[in-house]
C-alpha cells in the first residue's frame, strides 16, 4: 500500500470496499453527532434513533444524499430560494409594477392589496391607495406636534399684504382650496397637513399654473412658495397620469432610466430634501413617486430609489448633471420645470449647469413645458434668465419682496467683536425656554467654536456647516427641529429656503456682507404668519450694509437706533452714495417686472429672442429706500457653506 493510500485508509473516499458496503464519508462537524449511531444509514429528518442529529435540509433533494449539508436556522439565515428574486426579473420590479416602465404598466394588479399609501394608474384612471395611519403619522404628524407647524397666529394678516400680478390675461385668484379646482386627493392631503387657507402666493400661483402659464413669483420667505408650485403640479399629474414612454428594445439599461414628469432644481441639499419631504406629503396615496438626488450622499442608494419610480424629481444641479452623464435620467418627458431659490443658485455658480440642463440636454423646448421660477428676490440677471427660460410669463410680486416680514421684530445691538460671546449669553439667559434659536456665523470654524462655548455654559446646542457630513447635517437639523438641541449655530448653508418650524429667535452673531443674506437669515423666523425676533450684532466693521439695513428697518416699521443713523452718515460722508451697486446685479431691484420698464417690444421676452435694451431703464434714486437695490456676484471671499 502506498503512502498516499495509507493516509486515506481511515476514510471512505479511497476505500472502495467500505464504500460498497454502504458506509459514507462523515464531515468533521457531524462526526460527534453520528457517534454511536449506524454510520451506514444516512441521517433522516426527525430521525428518532438519533435525536441529536440536525434536520436534513430538503432544499437540495435533487443532489445525492452524501452531498447534503446541514440545515441553517431560519432565525439566522434567510432561505432565498423560497422567495422570487424580483430585483432583475423582467416582468416585475421592486414595486410590483411590470416592465420597469418608469414604474407604470396598465396591467399591474399588485396595488390592489397594498397598504403602503401608494396608488397607481390603470386604464386611464387614477386609482388611489388605501389610507395608512402609520404613514400619515410619519408624513403629517399629530395635531399637537410642535415640529409640524402649519400656520401661526398672525396668518390672517396675510390678507392685507399687497399682491401685484403683471402679464397678459392674468387668471383670477382663488380664496380657498376647496373651490380652487385642485384634484380632490390634493385637497385631502392639504387637510391632513392642517392647511386651512392658501397664502397670497398660493392664491395666485395655483390658478396661474392650472392655466398652463409660465410664472416668475417673488414672495417673502415663509410665505408658502413650496406649496405654491407643488399643489398645482401634483394636481395636474393626478388628472393626466404618467407619460407614454417608448423603451425601444426594452433592454435593462434603458428600462432603468428615469423619466420624471416634473423637475425641481434647488441650490442646496437641505432645501432639496425639504422640498422632497413636502412632495411626499402631497403625493400620498397617488401614482406619483417623488424622488430626491443631491451631492454629498451615497449615489447608489439614490439610484436604487429612482429604480422604484421617479415621477417628480427634486435635485441639485451638480448631482443631476452627474446622473444625466451616467445615462440614468432623461428629461425628455419633463412637463414642469421649477427653479426654486434661483438667485442663490446663480450666486453659488450653478448657472452653467442650469443652462446645460435646460438648453443642452433632451428637455422639451420652452414652448412644450411649463417653467416656474420661485424665490424671495429676483434681481436683474435672474430676470435675464427668465427671458431665456420662460414664455409669456406672469410676474407675481407678493408683499415687499427683498424686504422682511412685519411679523419679525428686528433688534440691532452695537457689540464689538470681543464682547459678542458675553452679550450672547445674556440674551440666551433672558429668553423663554419655548421655541428654537438660530445663530448665524460667517465661518465654519466659528460655528464649531461657538457651539462648544454654549455647551460649556450648559446651553444644549448643535452646529451645521459644509464640513459636516450629510448624515451629521441631517442629524443636527433633526435634533434642532424636535427641540432636543434648541440652539443651532449655522453658517450660510442653512440661511435660505429651509423651513424650520417654531424658530422664535434668529441671532446674527456675525452680520453678512450682503443685505439679501440678512433678509433670508432672519426669514427663518416669523414664517407662515408666526411671530419672531431677530437680533443683529453690529459694529463699524459692518458699515458696508448700514444704509441698506436702515432701509429694511424702515420698510418693516422697525425702530432704528440713533447710533445706527450716525454710522450711516459717517459711511456716506464725502461720497455720493447710492447703494453699493453690487456689481452686475444693480438696477432693477427684486420686485419689479422689468418688462414694464423696457423700451423694446415686450413680446420678445420669453420667446428666446435677443433683447439688448436692459440698460435703457434707469431706476429712481429714491426707489428701495434711497439706494439702488441691486445685487452682486462678488462672492469671492465668501463661503456659502
pLDDT of residue 283: 96
Check whether 199 has a pLDDT greater than 60: yes
Check whether 217 has a pLDDT greater than 50: yes
pLDDT of residue 294: 95
Name the grid cell of 500. Answer: 424650520
| Nearest of 207, 208, 178 to residue 191 by alpha carbon | 178
Q: What is the pLDDT of residues 410-434, one digit of tens each?
A: 999 999 999 999 999 999 999 876 7
213 CA to centre of own chain: 24
Q: What is the pLDDT of residues 281-301, one digit of tens each?
A: 999 999 999 999 999 889 999
Distance separating the N- and C-terminal Cα atoms of the chain:
80
Check whether 604 has a pLDDT greater than 80: no
Percent helix / strand / coil, the chain, rounded to 5: 40, 10, 50
387 CA to centre of own chain: 26
Name the grid cell of 297. Answer: 450622499
Is residue 117 very low, low, confident or very high in pLDDT (cuts 50, 70, 90)? confident
Point out the least confidently predicted range of 44-58, 116-130, 533-547. 44-58
What is the C-alpha separation between 39 and 48, in angstroms, rounded?
A: 15
Answer for the pair 548, 377: CB distance below 8 angstroms, yes or no.
no
Of residues 621 and 391, the one with the higher pLDDT is 391
| Nearest of 477, 471, 478, 502 to residue 489 by alpha carbon | 477
Is residue 132 very low, low, confident or very high in pLDDT (cuts 50, 70, 90)? very high
Cross-strand bridge partners of residue 164: 397
- Report, as an integer, the average pLDDT of 549-567: 90
Which of 41-45, 169-173, 472-476, 556-560 has the largest mean confidence?
Answer: 169-173
What is the C-alpha separation between 431 and 427, in angstroms, rounded?
A: 6
Point out the least confidently predicted range of 4-8, 381-385, 534-538. 4-8
Domains and CATH numbers, the chain: 3-67 (no CATH), 408-572 (3.40.50.300)
Answer for the pair 280, 193: CB distance below 8 angstroms, yes or no.
no
Cell 453527532 belongs to which residue?
A: 33
Q: Which residues contact 212 (CB under 8 A, 6 or more apart)?
A: 370
Of residues 614 and 282, the one with the higher pLDDT is 282
Q: What is the pLDDT of residues 341-360, one digit of tens each?
A: 888 888 888 999 999 999 99
Name the grid cell of 91. Answer: 416582468
Check whether 115 has a pLDDT greater than 80: no
pLDDT of residue 1: 56
Answer for the pair 576, 627: CB distance below 8 angstroms, yes or no.
no
H or E element at residue 340: strand 336-340
Check whether 316 has a pLDDT greater than 90: yes
CB-facing half-sphere around the CA of 108: CA atoms within 13 A:
30
pLDDT of residue 413: 95
Q: What is the pLDDT of residues 219-249, one digit of tens each?
A: 766 678 899 999 999 999 999 999 987 655 4
Of residues 620 and 158, the one with the higher pLDDT is 158
What is the C-alpha separation between 162 and 339, in angstroms, rounded?
A: 24
Q: Which 8-state DSSP code applies to residue 356?
A: I
pLDDT of residue 5: 56
pLDDT of residue 515: 86
What is the C-alpha separation between 599 and 588, in angstroms, rounded?
A: 14
What is the C-alpha separation between 32 and 30, in angstroms, rounded?
A: 6
pLDDT of residue 134: 92
pLDDT of residue 384: 81
For residue 490, the SS3 value is strand
pLDDT of residue 3: 58
- Report, as an integer, the average pLDDT of 41-62: 46
Q: Which 8-state DSSP code applies to residue 218?
A: E
Of residues 162 and 393, the one with the higher pLDDT is 393
Cross-strand bridge partners of residue 397: 164, 218
Answer for the pair 220, 272: CB distance below 8 angstroms, yes or no.
no
Q: Which 8-state DSSP code applies to residue 80?
A: G
Q: What angle do CA 232, 238, 244 make, to 5 degrees?
A: 115
Of residues 89 and 368, the one with the higher pLDDT is 368
pLDDT of residue 189: 96
CA distances from 420 to 216, 410, 441, 447 (A): 40, 18, 11, 14
Q: Which 8-state DSSP code applies to residue 220?
A: -
Check whether 326 has a pLDDT greater than 50: yes
Answer for the pair 521, 488: CB distance below 8 angstroms, yes or no.
no
pLDDT of residue 618: 33
CB atoms within 10 A of CB 102: 26
10 Å CB burial of residue 411 (0-12, 13-18, 19+) is middle
pLDDT of residue 247: 57
- Report, as an integer, the average pLDDT of 192-210: 92
What is the C-alpha separation between 375 and 381, in angstroms, rounded?
A: 13
10 Å CB burial of residue 509 (0-12, 13-18, 19+) is buried
pLDDT of residue 594: 63
Is residue 337 very low, low, confident or very high in pLDDT (cuts 50, 70, 90)? very high
What is the C-alpha separation between 492 and 538, in angstroms, rounded?
A: 18
Locate all alpha helices (DSSP H) within 184-243, ordered by sequence. Answer: 184-192, 200-210, 225-240
What is the C-alpha separation between 168 and 363, in angstroms, rounded?
A: 26
Of residues 52 and 128, the one with the higher pLDDT is 128
Q: What is the pLDDT of residues 483-535, one digit of tens each?
A: 999 999 998 765 555 677 788 999 999 999 888 788 878 888 876 667 789 99
DSSP class per residue in 578-612: -----GGG-SS-SSS-GGGG-SS-GGGTTTT----
Q: What is the pLDDT of residues 135-186, one digit of tens each?
A: 999 999 887 665 555 554 455 556 667 788 999 999 999 999 998 999 999 9
pLDDT of residue 321: 96
pLDDT of residue 602: 43
pTM above 0.85, yes or no: no
Name the grid cell of 460. Answer: 444644549
Amino acid at each position: 500500500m502506498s503512502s498516499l493510500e495509507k493516509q486515506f485508509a481511515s476514510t471512505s473516499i479511497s476505500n472502495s470496499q467500505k464504500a460498497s458496503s454502504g458506509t459514507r464519508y462523515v464531515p468533521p462537524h457531524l462526526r460527534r453527532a453520528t457517534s454511536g449511531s449506524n454510520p451506514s444509514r444516512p441521517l433522516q429528518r426527525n430521525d428518532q434513533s438519533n435525536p441529536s442529529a440536525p434536520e436534513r435540509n430538503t432544499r437540495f433533494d435533487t443532489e445525492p444524499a452524501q452531498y447534503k449539508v446541514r440545515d441553517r436556522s431560519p432565525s439566522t439565515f434567510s432561505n432565498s430560494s423560497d422567495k422570487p428574486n424580483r430585483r432583475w426579473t423582467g416582468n416585475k420590479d421592486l414595486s410590483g409594477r411590470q416592465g420597469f416602465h418608469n414604474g407604470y404598466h396598465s396591467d399591474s394588479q399588485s396595488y390592489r392589496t397594498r397598504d403602503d399609501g401608494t396608488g397607481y394608474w390603470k386604464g386611464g384612471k387614477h386609482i388611489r391607495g388605501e389610507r395608512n395611519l402609520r404613514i400619515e403619522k410619519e408624513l403629517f404628524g399629530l395635531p399637537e406636534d410642535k415640529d409640524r407647524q402649519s400656520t401661526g397666529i398672525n396668518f390672517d394678516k396675510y390678507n392685507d399684504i399687497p399682491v401685484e400680478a403683471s402679464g397678459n390675461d392674468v387668471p383670477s385668484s382663488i380664496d380657498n382650496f376647496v373651490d380652487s379646482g385642485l384634484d380632490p386627493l390634493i385637497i385631502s392631503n392639504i387637510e391632513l397637513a392642517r392647511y386651512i387657507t392658501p397664502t397670497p402666493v398660493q392664491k395666485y400661483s395655483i390658478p396661474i399654473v392650472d392655466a398652463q402659464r409660465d410664472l416668475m413669483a417673488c414672495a417673502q420667505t415663509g410665505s408658502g412658495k413650496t406649496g405654491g408650485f407643488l399643489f398645482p403640479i401634483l394636481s395636474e399629474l393626478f388628472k393626466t397620469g404618467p407619460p407614454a414612454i417608448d423603451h425601444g428594445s426594452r433592454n435593462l439599461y434603458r428600462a432603468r432610466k428615469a423619466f420624471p414628469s416634473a423637475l425641481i432644481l434647488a441650490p442646496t441639499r437641505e432645501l432639496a430634501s425639504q422640498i422632497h419631504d413636502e412632495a411626499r406629503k402631497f403625493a400620498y396615496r397617488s401614482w406619483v413617486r417623488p424622488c430626491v438626488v443631491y451631492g454629498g450622499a451615497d449615489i447608489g442608494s439614490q439610484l436604487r430609489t429612482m429604480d422604484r419610480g421617479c415621477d417628480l424629481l427634486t435635485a441639485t444641479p451638480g448631482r443631476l448633471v452627474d446622473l444625466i452623464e451616467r445615462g440614468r435620467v432623461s428629461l425628455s418627458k419633463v412637463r414642469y420645470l421649477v427653479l426654486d431659490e434661483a438667485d442663490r443658485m446663480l450666486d453659488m455658480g450653478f448657472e452653467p449647469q442650469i443652462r446645460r440642463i435646460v438648453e443642452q440636454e433632451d428637455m422639451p423646448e420652452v414652448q412644450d413645458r411649463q417653467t416656474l421660477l420661485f424665490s424671495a428676490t429676483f434681481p436683474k440677471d435672474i430676470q435675464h434668465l427668465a427671458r431665456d427660460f420662460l414664455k409669456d410669463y406672469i410676474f407675481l410680486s407678493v408683499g415687499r419682496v427683498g424686504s422682511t416680514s412685519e411679523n419679525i421684530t428686528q433688534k440691532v445691538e452695537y457689540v464689538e467683536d470681543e464682547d459678542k460671546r458675553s452679550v450672547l449669553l445674556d440674551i440666551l439667559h433672558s429668553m423663554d425656554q419655548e421655541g428654537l434659536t438660530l445663530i448665524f456665523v460667517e465661518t465654519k470654524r466659528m460655528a464649531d467654536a461657538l457651539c462648544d462655548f454654549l455647551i460649556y455654559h450648559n446651553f444644549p446646542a448643535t452646529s451645521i456647516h459644509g464640513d459636516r457630513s450629510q448624515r451629521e447635517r441631517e442629524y443636527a437639523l433633526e435634533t434642532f427641529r424636535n427641540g432636543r438641541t434648541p440652539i443651532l449655530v449655522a453658517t450660510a448653508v442653512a440661511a435660505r429656503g429651509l423651513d424650520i418650524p417654531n424658530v422664535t429667535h434668529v441671532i446674527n452673531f456675525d452680520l453678512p456682507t450682503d443685505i439679501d443674506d440678512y433678509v433670508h437669515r432672519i426669514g427663518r423666523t416669523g414664517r407662515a404668519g408666526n411671530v419672531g425676533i431677530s437680533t443683529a450684532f453690529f459694529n463699524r466693521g459692518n458699515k458696508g450694509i448700514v444704509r441698506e439695513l436702515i432701509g429694511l428697518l424702515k420698510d418693516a416699521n422697525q425702530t432704528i437706533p440713533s447710533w445706527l443713523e450716525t454710522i450711516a452718515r459717517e459711511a456716506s460722508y464725502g461720497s455720493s452714495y447710492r447703494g453699493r451697486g453690487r456689481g452686475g446685479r444693480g438696477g432693477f431691484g427684486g420686485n419689479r417686472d422689468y418688462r414694464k420698464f423696457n423700451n423694446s417690444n415686450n413680446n420678445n421676452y420669453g420667446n428666446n429672442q435677443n433683447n439688448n435694451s436692459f440698460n435703457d431703464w434707469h431706476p429712481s434714486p429714491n426707489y428701495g429706500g434711497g439706494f439702488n437695490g441691486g445685487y452682486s456676484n462678488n462672492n469671492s471671499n465668501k463661503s456659502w457653506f
